[in-house]
Amino acid sequence: MASTTPSPIGPLPKYASEDTASLMKDLNRLPLFMTELDTTDGGGGSNLALEALQALAYEGTPFEIASNFKTQGNDWFKLNQYKDAAEYYGKAIAAALKKDTKKENSSGNAENEKMEEIFDAKADPGTRIQVLSDNYGDETEMETENLKKLVTTCYLNRAACNLELKNYRRVINDCAEVLKVQPLNAKAYYRSARACLAIDKIKEAEECIERGLEIEPQSSYFNDLSIKVMQREDYLLKVEQQHTQRQLMKKHIVRM
């Protein structure tokens, strides 16, 4: 007697007849399983689950929203994903300054003008607080100060990211924003010095190190960096001397 294969009880699972590629493509539209951003639903519409999750990121007070982005930036930084981390620090800055975070990126150009207004180094603290208070309406002075601290921290953290990404001009710009508010921030001077050294701005690097050592006289970081700056300066001087010598030799040969 020939054996028969029993029929399955109930309907077949949705993916029983589909290949693995189709399954993974559909799973990638679920935020939990995403390996790359997919903003569609696979049928020409939008990914509602992703939109709902993204909307949650913008719920709360400016400080809560900015803090959330800052935390995500920290998480990416721990994973050595510096580009992503820089982007989230930028979103935190934009959220704190009530700007459009979707236009924000790691360059920091979008919010520098507002930062200049809020953290005017020439203005007294009360004036800076008032500018930010006008931006945030009913928030207390303490909340305003917390926002200012968060913004400066994110600038400093983004500078650390851009050091790793070798975006040295951006490092210098972000550290400058920090120093407008916290002129005794040693980390800002240190990161500025490293960035200046990387682009052979020797005098500027020396100045940053000098100011950093005034704040932290025993810092091994500044002392070690100072040695590197001197070594680089000596090297550049030798290169310049060799170039000058070659030019003189060429002129001498031409005259002969």
Q: Nearest Cα to 65, choosing from 105, 97, 34? A: 97
CATH number at residue 156: 1.25.40.10
50 falls within a domain: no
- DSSP state, residue 11: P
Which pLDDT tens digit goes with each residue over 21-40?
665 566 555 544 455 545 55
84 falls within a domain: yes
1 falls within a domain: no
| φ, ψ (nearest 5 deg) of residue 218 | -95, 10
pLDDT for 101? 46
Residues spanned by the domain of 240: 58-255
Contact 54, 60 (CB under 8 A): no
| Euclidean distance between CA atoms 178 and 41, whole angstroms | 42
One-letter amino acid at 133 equals: S
11 falls within a domain: no
Total-model pTM: 0.66
31 falls within a domain: no
Which pLDDT tens digit goes with each residue over 192-228?
999 999 999 999 999 999 999 999 999 999 999 999 9
Which pLDDT tens digit goes with each residue over 231-247?
999 999 999 999 888 88
What sign does the dihedral 245-246-251-255 (CA atoms) show?
Answer: positive
pLDDT for 134? 52
What pLDDT band is residue 79 in, cutting at 50, 70 and 90?
very high
| Mean pLDDT score of the chain | 77
13 falls within a domain: no
* Higher pLDDT pick, 20 / 54: 20
- DSSP state, residue 45: S
* Higher pLDDT pick, 142 / 148: 148
For the chain, the domain total comes to 1
pLDDT for 131? 45
CA atoms lying within 13 Å on the CB side of residue 144? 19
Q: What percent of the chain is predicted at pLDDT more than 90? A: 48
Q: In 10 A of CB 85, how many CB atoms?
A: 26
218 falls within a domain: yes
pLDDT for 103? 46
Q: Give 147-193 as a DSSP string.
A: HHHHHHHHHHHHHHHHHHHT-HHHHHHHHHHHHHH-TT-HHHHHHHH
| Euclidean distance between CA atoms 195 and 161, whole angstroms | 12
104 falls within a domain: yes
| Euclidean distance between CA atoms 245 and 239, whole angstroms | 10
